[in-house]
Amino acid sequence: MLNACKADCGSQRNRTSRRDRRIAVTVVEPAFRAGTAQGTTAAPEVAALFEPFTVNGLMLPNRIAMAPMTRYMSPGGVPDAAVAGYYARRAEGGTGLIITEGTLVGDPACVAPAGVPRIHGEDALAGWAGVVDAVHAAGGTIVPQLWHVGIYREPGFVPEPPLTAVGPSGLDLAGEPFTEPMTDAQLAVAVDAYVRAAVDAQRIGFDGVELHAAHGFLIDQFLWPATNRRTDAYGGPPAARARFGAEVVAAIRRATGPDFPIILRFSQWKVTDFQARIAQDPDELADLLAPLTAAGVDAYHVSTRRFWLPAFDGSRLSLPAWTRRVTGRPVIAVGSVGLADSDFQEAFEGAATRPASLERAVAAVEAGEFDLLAVGRAVLSDPYWAAKIRDGRTDELRPFDPASLETLT
């Protein structure tokens, strides 16, 4: 199930304040960046997706992002040259922003299957520095997704047996008692793990960070009433349920400074419950996101099964569109973007797929309903998906093939 949830111009900030950069990145004119040949103009029908965009000073050459997708291919949790090549090819292929697969923060209670990368320990950080350098050399921008699974557990998680799980109320994703509620000390350990990961990401040259606050993992376990039944300041109304996430964001902002982009990914659905909801209406959504925005979130990455579906009764607006409306922050939309005939879960289970039309996505960007589009399975199967879309070579697009999950092509 983990695979089901992971899955402004120029691509480099060109700021002299970036610390401990492993290699110098050659400054290239924007027209050459992210796989875009000099003088290339996007096909008119997708031109809106290939306009530049800026998130807190981070200049992106276009509106296409690579969605995070767990690959289980980092031996010992350390991304190697194969991982670096995998991400660099997507940057070469025209993807404006790379969001890495989930990377485990350094809380001992945060565990996952073997092969999932971590973002703590000098060996893993050196591996990620190689990834960053490869993506930058290819003209791309890249942020790591910082991930704490919280109380979520599956067979095969390492270490085995897993250390004690942590969650807001000690409830599993079915709402059943699993362990004791998180203590103040455990909350502090988790916040510190996120902060150390963000500081290290900044140090080795990442262009920002994304917090995984979706799909039933730790921050989302606080947002979701089914797993957060606390009666203290972290539970109850939406704003209180957002407090833990807001504390993480605020602590990262203090540690990394005002100009380091922080993206937050959230969802209604969970890996165990596609019908779950953290907000029942736009007012609840506004209340839930307000503390996170105030704490320093620069952009929201809104994960839905189908990005175009209405979020709430009585309105045609999608969850990304409502998020843009109630926060005023840039929004990345994701959910079955590149798949026709099926959604992402059906595709993972082997359903035949073909490339989807991007008319709805283009219309939504042109209407200001959201700002960027994250693509998962289509980019996984075809590293040059973005360039082919840009150049009108849709007849060359590769359909998603579940076999691509087994390789780092």
Overall residue count recorded for the chain in this entry = 409
Rounded CA-CA distance 25/23 in Å is: 6
Residues 6+ apart with CB under 8 A from 20: 203, 204, 205
Token readout for 276 is 């779950």
Three-point CA angle 207, 328, 367, nearest 5°: 95
Mapped onto helix, strand or coil, the DSSP state of residue 340 is strand
Three-point CA angle 324, 339, 315, nearest 5°: 35
Contact assessment for residue 7 and residue 99, using Cβ atoms and an 8 Å cutoff: no
Contact assessment for residue 231 and residue 237, using Cβ atoms and an 8 Å cutoff: no
Across the strands, what pairs with 99?
Answer: 143
Rounded CA-CA distance 114/122 in Å is: 18
Domain ranges (residues) in the chain: 2-406
Q: CATH code for 2-406?
A: 3.20.20.70
DSSP secondary structure string, 331-352? EEEESSTT-BSS-HHHHHTT--
Which residue type is seen at 129?
A
Q: Which segments within 177-234 are labelled E, that is strand?
A: 209-215
Token readout for 254 is 């203090």
pTM score:
0.89
Residue 162: what pLDDT?
56
pLDDT in tens, 292-341: 999 999 999 999 999 999 999 999 999 999 999 999 999 999 998 876 55
Rounded CA-CA distance 299/209 in Å is: 11
**DSSP H helix total and E strand total for the chain:** 13, 12
Residue 369: what pLDDT?
97
Regions of the chain where pLDDT drops below 70: 1-40, 159-163, 339-356
Residue 18: what pLDDT?
35
Pick from 26, 39, 31, 104: nearest CA to 62: 31
Rounded CA-CA distance 61/49 in Å is: 10
**Dihedral angle sign, alpha carbons of residues 64, 69, 72, 75:** positive
Contact assessment for residue 58 and residue 367, using Cβ atoms and an 8 Å cutoff: no
